Homo-oligomer: A and B are copies of this chain.
Amino acid sequence: MKKLNIAIVGLGNIGSYLFKYLKDNNKILTEKNNCQPIIKYVSAKNKNRKRNIIIKRNQWLNNYLDATVKDDVDLIIELIGGAEGPAKKLVFNALKNKKHVVTANKALIAKYGDRLAKIAEKNKVNLEFEASVCGGVPIIRSLKEGLIANKITKIYGIFNGTSNYILSSMDKENKEFNDVLINAQKLGYAESNPSADLNGDDVSSKLKILTSLCFNSFLNNNIYVEGIKQIDKTDIDNANKLGYKIKLLGFAELLNNKIYQRVHPTLIKKDSYVASIDGVLNAVIIDGKPVGQSTIQGEGAGAAATTSALVSDISSVLRGNIKFPFSLSNKERKKLKFENLNQRLFSAYLRFEVEDKPGILSNITNIFSKNRVSIKRLVQNPHKKSSSIVIITHKSKDIFLKKTLREVDRKNFVKHKSKLIRIDE
């Protein structure tokens, strides 16, 4: 029986779960892949942390970088995290030294994936990153293999469980953002520093990776990113009254040979599939030809789901199934044109909290008209001494929507920063 020697670098929740999984399921994995995975080495910053796994003395590496030079290591599993520092050093060195790499590190792949893929290709080793996008949802393998036949025109969905949990809890439990966030942290659905989840950065990294796989292009930083921090209960309630839910969605689309990447809170019809995805689930929707529309949904995070993804990558290495990390050879990947959103048309929800005085509504609608943003629906709700104006627009260029918002915000009668949430029809 063939054997594959593995070093796991990083032994937090995920690394420890994976370690135990590979021990407990060694027989079936060996049978399915015709090759036995052997955990030769591990490395972690804190050796003494309680892990509930039995690590032998001679499995510990003195220095995590030793994994990249030892002859009895074939595959390095990087679970350190972060685009820079030790993770970066480890993965670059591993590939340079002809070690296969499996990683869950979306920040690293989104930033250095192209350079890393080039080295992997040159050295004929695997660079696998299923676990970097949407946890247990086998989206990368599906794009590379199950849906390989398809020319994809759009991919979108819910790629961040924390944000989705917060938005759906605000909706269902009728709570404000901060209350839900505290609860999410207690339940382990949000980290103590949740900023990458809430400001859209996490989705941005995942989307960049998916974009390059869908469109056979290089990674590209032309992406519009907006998180959910400015969404409050009033927006959720307004959306409900108008027949929508608010979700943090990532989109990558090919329109007229240009690619648009965007991450932002989005109003979507209540009865749509995406609106029904609540809690920490992730969902990915793909429009492709010839397959039509495909959807994959599952647990987006957590040690268990991530291990499912890591093991699918490990199995690919066990089977000797070496592929280009981004489906195509470096020289065949395309330099496509990425475009910002300015000229892209959106309907939008805008909300203005203003003083309740005569002339203000006409002042606002005047700014809309001047910017050629046409109003489809307008609701004005009076409060004590103030007034809340919600406007749904017809499709307008994004640049004019943003300009309208800015111009209204400059007025003295505006009491809070105004809102602009794009609508997906």
Contacts and interface: CB of A to CB of B under 8 A. Distances in A.
Interface of A: 17, 21, 25, 28-29, 31-32, 34, 130, 136-138, 141-142, 145-150, 216, 273, 276, 288-299, 303-305, 307-312, 315-316, 319, 321, 323-324, 327-329, 332
Contacts of A32: 148, 324, 327-328
Contact of A328 (B31, B150, B297, B307): B31
A332 B31 contact: yes
Contacts of A289: 304
Contacts of A25: 149
A153 B360 CA distance: 61
B292 A304 contact: yes
A118 to B, nearest CB: 16
B146 A130 contact: yes
A290 B21 contact: yes
A400 to B, nearest CB: 36
Nearest to A28: B216
Contact of A297 (B145, B295, B321): B295
Nearest to A318: B148
A136 B311 contact: no
A124 B291 CA distance: 30
A299 B293 contact: yes
Number of copies: 2
Given A145-B141, A145-B315, A308 B291 contact: yes
A148 B130 CA distance: 13
B299 A296 contact: no
Q: Is the interface of A mostly helix, strand, loop or mixed?
A: mixed
A29 B25 CA distance: 35
A107 to B, nearest CB: 23
A413 to B, nearest CB: 43
A340 to B, nearest CB: 28
Given A29-B148, A147-B308, A295-B295, 4 more contacts: A130-B146, A138-B145, A291-B298, A291-B299
A148 B290 contact: no
A294 B296 contact: yes
A31 B146 CA distance: 16
A70 to B, nearest CB: 26
A146 B150 contact: no
A10 to B, nearest CB: 18
B323 A319 contact: yes
5 contacts: A32-B324, A136-B294, A141-B142, A141-B146, A295-B295
Contacts of A146: 130, 138, 141-142, 146, 312
Contacts of A34: 329
Contacts of A17: 290
A350 B21 CA distance: 45
B316 A290 contact: no
A233 B323 CA distance: 52
Given A21-B290, A294-B298, A308-B290, A142 B149 contact: no
A328 to B, nearest CB: 6
B137 A312 contact: no
Contacts of A309: 149
Nearest to A27: B332
Contacts of A288: 308
A149 B21 contact: yes
A7 to B, nearest CB: 19
A304 B151 CA distance: 12
Given A273-B276, A321-B321, A323-B319, A149 B31 contact: no
A114 to B, nearest CB: 17
A145 B296 contact: no
Contact of A148 (B137, B149, B303, B312): B312
Determine which residue in A130, A293, A294, A329 has the highest number of CB atoms from chain B within 10 A of its CB, and name it: A294
Nearest to A289: B304
